[in-house]
Amino acid sequence: MSLPAAQGKSMLSLRSTSFSNGRRDTTRTSRVQMAVAQGGMDQIVGLKMPASVTKSWEVHKFGGASLADAGLYRTVGDLLVTESLGRGDGAVPTMAIVSAMSGTTDQLIGVVNAALKDPAEAKKLLDVAVDKQISTLKELAGPEIVAPIERNIRKDADDIMGVLQALKLLRTIPAVTLELITGFGEVWSAQTLNGYLKAKGVPCDWIDAREILIVESTLSGLGEKGSAATAGVNPLWEETSLRMQRWWLERAAANGLHGLDYSRAAPVITVTGFVASTADGAPTTLKR
C-alpha cells in the first residue's frame, strides 16, 4: 500500500505479523518505501487523501491453518475487531492478508485434475469446496450479509465449470487455467472474513488483489499452484501503487472508510493473498 508524497515517493510505517495455526509466529516493525509513478501522481494531484492513510497500519498475514473452520475465522476476526476498536492506545487501521481456507486450494487442484477425465466428478468435487465455504460463512454472519457473498461464490463456481468444460478436449491443463482456479480459495476466504467483520459492526472492506497487484509472471513449468523453482514473479510497483490509490479514493470512500473517528474505530481491510494479475489482465499467482 503506498501513499502520495510531494516527491513521488511515500513512506508507510507498518507493523507486520504472521499467524499459523491461530498462533502469532513472527512480528516485526519496518519502514516500507514504494515508488509511486509520476504519471499516477499527476492523475491524483489536487485530491486530498484522508488523514487515515498517513497513520501507521498494522498488517497481519493469516495462513490457511489459521482459517480452518468457523471457530478459527472468529478467532482471527476478533483479533481484528480489537485492532479496529482500539487496545487502550487508540484504534489501529489494519490490513489482513488471508490465505484460502485450509484444504480449499488442494480441493480446487483436485477439481482441475478431475476435469481432464470426468467433468461430472469435477463438479461434485467443486460442490464440496463451495458448500464448505458457504456453510462456514453461514456460521459467521446473518442472512443479509451472507446472501451477496454466497451469490458471488456460486457465480465463481459456475465460471470455474465453464472454464473446465474445455479441459477434456484439450487433454492438458494450461498454466493460466490452474492459476485462475486455485486462486478462488483466497477470494472466497477474504469475503468470508470480511463478512464476519461486517457482522461485528467494524468499518471494513475487502480487496481482490487481482484488481490491484500487477506483476510480471514467467512460467517455465507447471506444478501445483506454481513453484518458485519454475516461475518468476516481479511486482510492477508503479501500476500497483496507482491502482491502490484509486481503490482508496473511490471504493473506500464509497463504503464509508474515510473520515472515521479514530478514537472510536479504524478500518480493517481484508486482502486476498497469493493472487495477482499480469499487465494484460491475465490472472496469476505469487507462487510458492
φ and ψ of 279, to 5 deg: -60, -30
Q: How sure is the predictor about 18, in pLDDT bands with cuts at 50, 70 and 90? A: low
CA proximity to 241, closest of 53, 50, 52: 53
Q: How sure is the predictor about 21, in pLDDT bands with cuts at 50, 70 and 90? A: low
127 is a domain residue: no
* pLDDT > 60? residue 4: no
Per-residue pLDDT tens for 186-230? 999 999 999 999 999 999 999 999 999 999 977 544 444 554 444
223 is a domain residue: yes
How crowded is the C-beta side of 272, counted as CA atoms within 13 Å?
Answer: 25
Cβ-contact 22, 66 below 8 angstroms? yes
DSSP reduced 3-state for 86: coil
Which one-letter amino acid corresponds to residue 101?
A: M
Number of structural domains (the chain) is 1
The string of DSSP letters for 103-134 reads: THHHHHHHHHHHHTT-HHHHHHHHHHHHHHHH
Q: How sure is the predictor about 258, in pLDDT bands with cuts at 50, 70 and 90? A: confident
Q: Stretch 31-53: mean pLDDT, rounded?
A: 42
Distances (CA, A) of 245 to 47, 240, 253, 267: 11, 9, 11, 16
* pLDDT > 90? residue 34: no
Q: How sure is the predictor about 231, in pLDDT bands with cuts at 50, 70 and 90? A: low
77 is a domain residue: yes
192 is a domain residue: yes
Q: Stretch 170-198: mean pLDDT, rounded?
A: 95
| DSSP tag of 278 | E
Distances (CA, A) of 5 to 40, 47, 109, 153, 197: 12, 12, 43, 38, 31
- What's the start-to-end Cα distance of the chain, in Å? 22
239 is a domain residue: yes
Q: 116 is written with which cell numbers?
A: 481432464
| Top-confidence residue, 118 or 220 | 118
Cβ-contact 228, 285 below 8 angstroms? no
Cβ-contact 78, 33 below 8 angstroms? no
124 is a domain residue: no
Residue 263 is part of a domain; what is its CATH number?
3.40.1160
- For residue 62, the enclosing domain spans 9-101+183-285
224 is a domain residue: yes
119 is a domain residue: no
